[in-house]
Each structure stands twice: as structure tokens, then as C-alpha cells.
Chains A and B, each alone.
Chain A
Amino acid sequence: MTVSPAPVVISNNTPLLDASGLSKTFGIIEVLKDISLTVRAGEVHAIIGENGAGKSTLMKILAGNHQPTRGELKIDGQVVSFSGPVDAENHGIVLVHQEILLAPDLTVAQNIYLGRELKKGLVVDDRAMRAGARQAIADLGGDLDPDTIVSRLSIAQRQLVQIARVLLVPHRIVIFDEPTASLTPHETDALLKVIRDIRAKGVAVLYISHRLPEVKEIADRVTVLRDGRLVASHDAAELQPADMARLMVGRDVAKLYPDRHAAETRQAVLEVAGFDVPGFAQDAGFTLRKGEILGFAGLIGAGRTELMEGLVGLRPGKGKVVLNGHPVAFTDVHSSLKAGVAYLSEDRKGKGLLLTKDLRVNLTLASLGKFIRGLQIDRKREAEALDKAIQDFDIRTGTKNILAGQLSGGNQQKLLLAKMMLLDPQIVIIDEPTRGIDIGNKEQIYKFIAALAEEGRSIIVVSSEMPELIGICDRILVMRAGRIVGEVQGEHMTENEIVQLATGVNAGEAA
């Protein structure tokens, strides 16, 4: 079975999807207010907005997960009302979730056909499903063995499987919810190509993203949401990324990145040489200077995260590490934190914060020793520390008794930063500091990072977002396949040079 979109009549008059006056209320809070938009066949319609602007709620209404409180939906001019996601699918609307929702122990083919297995008599028809899966992946321009176990695939490959799975349903409108959030630039390009192919078949694509340059690249039309309202809807040709950012935030974000003046003489605080993290990084060597922001660029899987985790003792690693002139070897995080080296994981929800615990418990978890009086934890001092953190890092929360999991992504990152800064570290390693964070919070986090460097701390930023590295770093090291393959600074800090180093194309020339 191949991907078979329902027959499409492209008409310029009747939009494929016509939403008018959609509102959605949860309890007493109105999260969507009077949204009207139209989607035409064969167009990519981008929906952008900050976290909490209502994008997800809108998509969930379109995909049948939520019922609108007011307003109506029309498909081909006919009023429809979805009882659930399956009902929406029957009308040809499918959603590609942001999270990868696959069974990790099943194969590619088994995942693609999960819940709708092809049968021959009483038994499943593995041969047909294998062929169908291979075809579905090939239709997306991919090449995967249908028998591969999904847990062995990269994130980008898993996403391809997820898209293939969704597109197996006959579809006319495909919704992508932040599909590139965890992809490298290279993988993002591949995905955008997939989306263009889908569009070329006359399918309408709704595309949600934080990444404005890529919205500019792919979208035919851009709709901006802010605080649950639709603030603008334009042809993409009329908008530049800076315009989109301004519309999203509601003010000028002329400067996303803070001004930095690089100090002249700097002593080395961390020197690494010949460092190996078995299976992930080989022979890594670099020097980090006082007050410096050092970037680590590279594709996902280049070993950046693993190198950092090896350095701070989160995974086995071996090599020469000299901290302030003294050789050190961290075997666990406790010792590296004690020595003043803090690592903030890229996986905030899984490794950074206890989502089901309140802010206070999260804030002091890594530095409880400072809050002990006698045998007990001094809860009053903890509460004071939380007040200070909320103020210093501008953590926006209605009440302090909220669980960490209820904060928005940006505020979670601020809380994680506050948690680690309680340890007063000399070296701060931040992995993907702004992943999944809206532009307003991004700007703040960049300011915090710059301020930490200004205080004389040394910062390492690991990121897949090249503009961000170029915007805030003094120097950038590029990793490829477990090795540091080059360094760029000054006017050489361009996306082009970094990509060349990261992918190995024209590597000789760039190094």
C-alpha cells in the first residue's frame, strides 16, 4: 500500500478549510479568542507565535482533539464538527506530533502499520507491510530498512517514520507541530523538502514553528498568534523574519543577542587534551578562558553532548583535564559540581527538573548542603532563595506553589539556570539553552548567559542553532563524528563555515 491522498479538487474559490470565530475556554481561561483563518489546497500555511499564544490549542481543535467553545469549521464549504481525532482523520486532516510517538522496540514497518496492520486471513501480512513501509519511506525521499528496530534510529529517522505513519491515512490537510525542534540544519533541509513534496501533491500543510528563517523559507502564508488572538495573516513574501518576530512578541526585538565586548587578556581556566568518551568522542582538546563564551557546534550525533557529559563525570571518559592549573578527573557529577563546573542538560524535562515537584524543591536540589541547619533543611531559607531566583531570573509564574512541570519551557530553563547558579559555578556548560523556547524568553536567556560571562564565569554553549552560537559566542568549536574538527572566530563565524566543518564538505579549505 502506498501513500494515497484523497482526490483533490483545486479550486481558488472555496478554501479547503475555513475556520471562523474559533474560541476555546478552559475553565475560566480563554486560550483562543475569535480565530478565523482559511487554508487552501497546495499551500503551506505557517502558524507562529510564542509559547502559550494558542498555536497548540488551535491545532488540537483542527485535528479533532478539542472541541471549540465557539465558532465553526468548514471543509469544502461544509460545516463539520469532529468528535475526535479519528473523525478528523476521516475528513482527511492528520497531525504529525512534535514528540516522537513510536514503540521503540518494534520495527519501522511494525510502527508504520501499528493499529492498522494488514492481514492475510487471521495472521498479519508482514511481507505486504514491509513493502508498504519501504514505499512510504521512499515516497518521503528516505531510505530505511523496514526491519530496523526503531530504537536504533536517529531522531531524524524516527521522525521520518512518524511522518510516513501519519501519511498512510488518506489525507488532504497535514499539520506539522514544530517538526524541526530537535533536528540539525541538514536534517531540517531534508524535512522541508518532504513538506514541499507533500504540497506539490495538492495537499494543504499547516506548519507550526519557532524557527522564523525556516518559516520564511517554506511558508506561502503566515498567520501570527499572540495571547490567543490572531494578530496578523500575510502572504509569506510580504514578511521578513524580523517582522514575524515583532508581530509575535508585540514589540521590537531589534536585538535578540546582547552586546558583548571581549576582554583582552584571559587566563585559561579549563584545559582539555586527548579526551576520549568511548563510542562518542575521540581525542578532544580545547581551552576555555576566563569570562569567555565558547560555542560547540555540530550535527546531532557529533558527540558534543556526550563529550560534555564525559567531562563532568556523567559518563565514562578519559583524558587530560586541567582546571585552574590543577589536573582533575571527575568520576561523578558531585565532584565536578564541587569543583565549580556545572552542566545543564539539553533534556530539561527528563534530566533537569523534577516535573512533579514544586519550584522550591527543584531550585535547591543540587545545593541542599547550603540550606542545612543542624540536621534539618531550613525551609525558610529555601523560600527566600526561591523568591530571589524568581526575581533574578524573571521566572514568570502566577503562584510559587506550582509544579515545575506546569511552567512554560522558557521558565523551566530559567529555573534550571537558577538551580545551577545556586552552586556559584566557575564554569557553566549549557546544552541547547533555548530548545523549544519562544523568542521573548530566548532573548532573556542570552542576556543571562552574557551576564554570567561578564561576572568572570566561563561558559560553554552547545547548540544546534547556528545563529544563536554566532550571536552570543566569542569562539565556536565544531565537532564532527566525535572529533573537534575546527574552530571559527571573528568574521569566520558564519553559518556557511560552520556547516562546512560540521558536514565535512570542503573541510580542507575551511580548517
Chain B
Amino acid sequence: MSAVTTDTAKAPKTSRDWDMAAIAPFVALALLLVLGYFANPNFVSVANLTNVITRSAFIAIIALGATYVISSGGLDLSVGAMVAFVASLMILFMNTGAISDPTLMLITAMLVALGLGAACGLANGLITTVGKIEPFIATLGTMGIYRGLTTWLSQGGSITVRDRELQQLYRPVYFGDVFGVPIPIIVIFATAALAAFVLYRTRYGRHLIAVGSNEEVARYSGISVQKVRTIAYIVQGLCVAVAVIIYVPRLGSTSATTGILWELQAITAVVVGGTALRGGVGRIWGTVCGAFILEIVGNIMLLSNFVSEYLIGAIQGAIIIIAMLVQRSLMRK
């Protein structure tokens, strides 16, 4: 029967095109490295690159959660504010001195951060699913709430870890390394590996993609759309908490302006990585790559003299548009 061949002829969209879209961000990263070398040979030194990647850790880890939310057909604008909120509460908890043993205190504080992140994510998830409010509006609301609560907690200033001993103990979580690899980089790859396993290999991951691809088909297949989406927001909250855990030791403090605009950077990393904003496609390693690209572009601008670093926001904005255009043309082919 000719039915199949005819359909193929009409819609020449094969799986190969999707692969192209998956590879594109890595090609872009490679090109950037070459460009960076020509801008300033110091750029490709191991020291500089480790430094850059370490600094991208916060956005990269938050963007992993954003990949989940966006793949499920949602959006979370509250992550930047959530970082500030969770970090503030984590430090305030450490400052209570409720646990005298510093190691135990630190571990408990990290668990508190994870719990708070999950709770913030759960709130976002329930408002969008049970409350049936558009994710854009729902998380715009919680963004205001988390940010406002942080400002109130810090009275507009900053919140600092008071205990010297605790600070010293905590420091290596950002500044330390294992066999020369900075811990934040290890955390990026470990989190990404876990995220990739869950998204690509487990039943939950398959359900997430199904929900993002077509909510109705998922529902008619017996999948609880609300549960799957809510869990995606919780995953996002947990990722924010992990980012907070490596962020706090960096400065030992947080303020009302911590994490401002990080939500946009995270979304940019996700989109540059090849994940479709309309949902149904999730690319974990692409997202990591996207976060690296954003940080590297900033670094190249800093190291080179021909573009002002004050233009960094404009360049990042241009990157997201270019990434979308590339994706579009690869899919249409």
C-alpha cells in the first residue's frame, strides 16, 4: 500500500533532524571555544576554563530543574527568588545554633535547604495544577512572594553565616576539589547524570515527556497529569536547593538581591540546549551545554577587548533568539 510512502513524502521530518537539533548546542560550544582562543589564548587554559565552568554551576543546576518543568509543558519564573529565599532560611537556621556539633549542623542545614526547595516547588506545582493557574502567572506570583519574604527576612540588607567554625567547615563545598576537579563541577555532572537517568530511563521520565508532548493523550493513557507536573516543579525546587547549597559557602551570606534574573538565565540555558519551550522534548546534556555557553560568552567578552562587558545582557538576549532560529530551521528542513 502506498499510504506510508506518501505520508513520508509529505512530511519529510525524520528522526535524523531531531538528532541535528540535539547536536547543535555542542557544535556551538566548540565554535565558541575556538573563537575564545582567537580572542585571547589564555581563554583555553585549564585554569580559566575550570573557573568559568565552576561559576556556571548555579545556573546549570537550576536549569536542569527548569528542563524538567519546561519539558512537562510548564514554566517556573520563581527560581531566582527561590534561591534567595531558601538561602536566607538556610543561613538563618544555621545561625540559630540549634545543633552544637558543626558537622551535624551543616548536614541538617543542607537537608533543611532541600526540604525548603521541595516545599517551594510543591507550592508552585499545586498552584498551577490544582489551582489551574497558568504557570507564567502562578510563578510570577510566587516569585514576588519568595523575593518579598527574603527582603523582609533580611530587612533589605544581607544575611550572613555568623559561626566562624561553621563557615570554615562549609567553605570547601564551593572552593574545594576532588583530584583537582572543583566540587561545583562534580555537582553539575552528578546532578545532570541523575536527571538524565530519570528523564530518559524511567517511567516517570517517559510520563513527563508524554504530558509535555500532549496532555490529553497522557490523560487518556491513564497518566495523572497533575501528579507528573507537580513532581516536575518539586524537582525544580530540589535543584534550586542544590544550587543554594553550593552558593552559600561562596560568600557565606545572601541578600535581597541574590539570584535576580537567574530565572531568565536558566530558561535561556534550557532553550539554547535544544529543549522546546512548548514542552515534550527534554535535553539534559544540552541544558548543561547551554549554561556553559552563557558563562563562556561572558568570559570571552571579559577577556577580549573588542566588545564591552556591559553588553553582556544584550549578547545573551541575542543568543536565545539565534538558538530559536537555528532550532526552527533544523526542524523545518
Contact = CB atoms under 8 A, between A and B. Distances in A.
Does B associate with A? yes
Interface stretch (B75-83, B92-100, B118-126, B206-214): B206-214
Given A26-B10, A27-B9, A376 B201 contact: yes
A345 B203 CA distance: 23
Contact of B214 (A337, A354, A403, A406): A354
B220 A354 contact: no
B203 A372 contact: yes
Given A334-B223, A377-B202, A406 B7 contact: yes
Interface residues of A, number: 55
B222 A358 contact: no
B216 to A, nearest CB: 4
A51 B3 contact: yes
A269 B213 CA distance: 35
Most buried by B among A26, A228, A354: A354
B314 interface: no
A333 B202 contact: no
Contact of A351 (B9, B210, B220, B224): B220
Given A53-B2, A410-B3, A365 B214 contact: no
A50 B1 contact: yes
Contacts of B223: 334, 365-366
A375 interface: yes
A396 B219 contact: no
B7 A351 contact: no
Interface in A351-386: 351-358, 361, 365-366, 368-369, 372, 375-377
Contact of A401 (B1, B13, B15, B280): B15
Interface in A477-510: none
Given A27-B9, A358-B15, A401-B15, A343 B3 contact: no
B5 A405 contact: no
B217 interface: yes
A356 B331 CA distance: 12
Most buried by A among B13, B202, B222, B223: B222
Nearest to A337: B222
Contact of B4 (A54, A227, A366, A396): A396
Contacts of B209: 357, 361
B6 interface: yes
A92 interface: no
A9 B6 CA distance: 38
B41 interface: no
Interface string B190-216: 000000000001110011011001101
Given A27-B12, A31-B6, A408-B7, A354 B1 contact: no
Given A334-B222, A353-B217, A406 B3 contact: no
Given A333-B220, A350-B216, A366-B221, A227 B2 contact: yes
A50 B3 contact: yes
B213 A357 contact: yes
B4 A368 contact: no
Nearest to A440: B1
A403 B213 CA distance: 13
A408 B3 contact: yes
Nearest to B201: A376
B11 interface: yes
Contacts, number: 124
B308 interface: no
Given A345-B220, A350-B216, A375-B201, A406 B2 contact: no
Contacts of A51: 3
B217 A411 contact: no
B9 A369 contact: no
A368 B280 contact: no
A369 B207 CA distance: 11
B45 interface: no
B7 A52 contact: yes
Given A334-B222, A353-B217, A356-B213, A52 B4 contact: yes
A396 B2 CA distance: 10
B8 A402 contact: yes
Contacts of B1: 50, 52, 396, 440
Interface string A22-38: 00001101010000000
A336 B214 CA distance: 20
B214 A350 contact: yes
Contacts of B201: 375-377
Nearest to B276: A356
Given A396-B1, A406-B11, A334 B213 contact: no
Interface string B1-38: 11111111111111100000000000000000000000
Contacts of A365: 206, 210, 217-218, 221, 223
Interface string B131-169: 000000000000000000000000000000000000000
A334 B216 contact: no
- Please provide the 4 A-B residue pairs with the shortest distance between their CB atoms, ordered closest to farther: A52-B3, A26-B9, A408-B3, A366-B221
Given A354-B213, A354-B280, A375-B202, 18 more contacts: A31-B6, A52-B6, A54-B6, A228-B6, A334-B222, A336-B222, A351-B216, A351-B219, A357-B209, A357-B210, A375-B201, A376-B201, A377-B201, A398-B8, A401-B14, A402-B8, A406-B4, A411-B4
30 contacts: A29-B5, A31-B6, A52-B1, A52-B7, A57-B6, A332-B224, A333-B219, A333-B222, A334-B222, A338-B222, A343-B220, A345-B220, A351-B214, A353-B217, A354-B214, A354-B217, A354-B280, A357-B209, A365-B206, A377-B202, A396-B1, A398-B8, A401-B15, A402-B4, A403-B13, A405-B11, A406-B13, A411-B3, A419-B221, A440-B1
Interface of A: 26-27, 29, 31, 50-54, 57, 227-228, 314, 332-334, 336-338, 343, 345, 347, 350-358, 361, 365-366, 368-369, 372, 375-377, 396-398, 401-403, 405-408, 410-411, 419, 438, 440
